[in-house]
A and B are shown apart, each in its own frame.
Chain A
């Protein structure tokens, strides 16, 4: 597959690593104080309730301890993180109006091209603010709302107030509280009853500034009998100082609606990715998560599905790739809180060059939820002897009337398999890449095409060792 390899070199990691000069109109001091929070709120010209919400969250943040499990966060010093950086531009609806350097970054990441070809709407966030948002007119005519959170707070204040951080309250954990205090940017999507959005919407989050945090908030509400596929992409150039991403995603799936939420996260390896994602699903509704975790120094990410309506379904498909210097603690949580709810979890992880992939999952079935069904499968592949892989699936069941299938497998890449492929003229690197691509194939086929290609390219880049 020489041609594919050439393609790989074309989309070198260098694209992700392009750094633009810092060009901002406003930036807070690093660290976290009441004044900084008030500053952010003032900059955004927010309603009072939101300002108070931020201050309350800050209080909770300072009281909450760091988590005592999972990743080592001792190197993450909030005093060195700049929580708010407003790029030197207003949000645009015409791509041509976006400043040249920012535009170039997104062009290289393939964003506007993706919009022209296969998306119904696109949002692009650069550091703390969304710089571009657009949606096809026919969707607007049907009543679909797709905009940045700031605009939503201004134009749809009632809806935001009803849902904002109700599913992930600031009291949830320390980084949820942090998010509540300093959130900025993100996407707001509202799909009215009965509307099927056939082509995906996509938001892309880019963190350019060194030593900064990105705290975007994504709020999606899909009403009864509607359908939406939302895609989220994330990346950042590599710096020597730590960056932090503590986003929050809240998804409300109403009766008989389906929401598919796909993410490919490719943060640079100085990033702490402590992200919280949660969906609540009503009667006969469906949430489908597709989650690819590649970048970051440390990730703690467990998208959660709360199946609260009878017959609600969740499906989680995830792949995690931990290379040198990376500790990726990922998984998913499912709560069966109503009768006849079903869940499927399919997780794959790969570790190489001393990388550590940790699968942590929770399956909980409430006492009064009967007739539930769940299938959990997690497999790990280690590419060498230095790398590590763990699996910790926690299952808490309070009733007997449930059908559960569980399978976990951890293995090393086999020398004999590599030898077999090499005996057909395929080089060692390509043989490994082929085995890994094959390993994640069940995930790749769930992704939109351009993301599947990107995922395969990321695997090739990782295995060629081109990433510093």
Chain B
């Protein structure tokens, strides 16, 4: 079995509506057991990368390929990618009226595993996972994200991740808008789920989350390209000097 989970080769992406190129040739490899962090200033293409990996119809791939679990997934539908083990934790999770968290997750788990999730055992599973995330049990019967605070929505994303048990989780700005306690809970969730067989791609604007999660690699995404890759020291550098230094360094791009 290959250790590689995700390989991105020279990926170019534009917004389907106005043909504006946002990603201008991304290369990235993520292996099992690794945690990668992608940092960068706003407008650099971080969220576009996350959405493109998950297959949002708004983004059009014009060049390159995305290989996940040894399969090229450029043309696969979003739900097919999810079934292969790809997961995206949203920056702004959608609110769905009339559908409870539990009903939604049971449907999702059934779809992903192709196994009917029975009501009682699933209830036990969700209660256990919610307890681990310090979530009140009553969230299970509330409508999906409706009336949730920012922190509750993010926790709910981590809850979904821990129940669906993906191979590669992309966290899109999961730490933004969270207070320190909520960031800790998210980080603990990630640390609990991580193992030698899965991997994480954490997209973040700043590095608070990195106090609690130790990444193996840090990449800087600027103007649609990964301009620099390294270890945790790169994040420290951003923390100290901000993005200006790097922007100046790559001003020609």
**B-contacting residues of A (Cβ < 8 Å)?**
1-3, 414-417, 419-428, 430-431, 434-435, 437-442
Whether A414 lies near B94 (C-beta < 8 A) is yes
Q: Given A419-B57, A423-B81, list of 7 further CB < 8 A pairs?
A: A1-B107, A415-B57, A415-B58, A416-B94, A425-B111, A430-B111, A439-B98
Interface members, chain B 106-121 (any A CB < 8 Å): 106-108, 110-112, 114, 116
Q: Which residues of the partner chain B approach A435 to less than 8 Å between Cβ atoms?
A: 96, 99
Taken together as a complex, chains A and B put the C-alpha atoms of A420 and B82 apart, in Å, by 11
B contacts with A, residue count (CB < 8 A): 32
B82 touches A425 (CB 8 A): yes
Q: Which residue of B lies closest to A442 (CB)?
A: B98
Query: Mind listing 27 A-B residue pairs with CB under 8 Å?
Result: A1-B106, A2-B116, A417-B94, A419-B54, A420-B90, A420-B94, A421-B94, A421-B96, A422-B78, A422-B79, A423-B78, A423-B81, A423-B88, A424-B104, A425-B82, A425-B112, A427-B79, A430-B107, A430-B111, A434-B107, A435-B96, A435-B99, A438-B99, A439-B98, A441-B97, A441-B98, A442-B98
Question: Which residue of chain B is the closest to A435 with respect to CB atoms?
Answer: B96
- Which of B56, B57, B78, B81 lies at the interface centre, i.e. has the most chain A CB atoms within 10 A of its CB? B78
Give every chain A residue within 8 A of B78 (Cβ-Cβ): 419, 422-423
B77 CB-CB contact with A under 8 Å: yes
Q: Which residues of A contact B200 (CB under 8 A)?
A: none
* Contact between A426 and B96, CB atoms less than 8 A apart: no
Which residues of chain A come closer than 8 Å to B104, judged between CB atoms?
Answer: 421, 424, 434
- Shortest distance in angstroms between B14's beta carbon and chain A's nearest beta carbon? 17
Question: In angstroms, how far is the closest chain B Cβ from the Cβ of A385?
Answer: 14
**Cβ contact within 8 Å between B164 and A425:** yes
Residues A2 and B88 in contact, CB atoms below 8 Å apart: no
Bound state CA distance, A435 and B112, in angstroms? Answer: 19
| Bound: A294/B56 CA distance, A | 32
Among B79, B83, B97, find the residue whose CB has the most chain A CB atoms closer than 10 A.
B79
B147 at interface, CB cutoff 8 A: no
**Chain B residues numbered 52-99 whose CB sits less than 8 Å from any CB in chain A:** 54, 56-58, 77-79, 81-83, 87-88, 90, 93-94, 96-99
A215 CA / B154 CA spacing, docked (Å): 56
Could you tell me which residues of chain B, from 22 to 40, have a CB within 8 Å of some CB in chain A? none
B residues sitting closer than 8 Å to A (CB atoms) are: 54, 56-58, 77-79, 81-83, 87-88, 90, 93-94, 96-99, 104-108, 110-112, 114, 116, 143, 160, 164
Known: A1-B106, A434-B107, A438-B143. A422 touches B94 (CB 8 A): no
* Listed residue (B57, B105, B108, B143) with the most chain A CB atoms within 10 angstroms of its CB: B108
Q: Do B112 and A424 touch across chains, with their CB atoms under 8 A apart?
A: yes
Q: Is A1's CB under 8 angstroms from B110's CB?
A: yes
| Shortest beta-carbon distance from A140 to chain B in Å | 40
Chain A, Cβ-Cβ closest to B144: A438
Give the distance to chain B from A415, nearest Cβ to Cβ, in Å: 7
Q: What chain A residues lie within 8 Å of B116 (beta carbons)?
A: 2-3
The 9 residue pairs across chains A and B that have the minimum distance between CB atoms? A438-B98, A441-B98, A425-B112, A424-B108, A422-B78, A425-B82, A425-B111, A420-B94, A438-B99
Q: Select from chain A the residue with minimum beta-carbon distance to B109.
A: A425
Would you give the shortest CB distance from B160 to chain A, in whole angstroms? 6
For residue A424, give the distance in angstroms from its CB to the closest CB of chain B. 4
Contact B93 A425 (CB under 8 A): no
Cross-chain contact B56 with A426 (CB below 8 angstroms)? no
Chain B residues within 8 Å of A417, by CB: 94, 96
A437 and B144 CA atoms in complex are apart in Å by 13
Contacting pair B58 A423 (CB below 8 A): no
Q: Which residues of A contact B160 (CB under 8 A)?
A: 424
Q: Which residue of B lies closest to A424 (CB)?
A: B108
CA A442 to CA B79, docked complex, whole Å: 28
Q: A1-B106, A434-B107, A438-B99 are in contact. Are A425 and B83 (CB under 8 A)?
A: yes
With both chains docked as a complex, state the minimum distance between the C-beta of B61 and any C-beta of chain A, in angstroms: 16
- A439 and B54 CA atoms in complex are apart in Å by 26
Residues of A within 8 Å of B99, CB to CB, are: 434-435, 437-438, 441
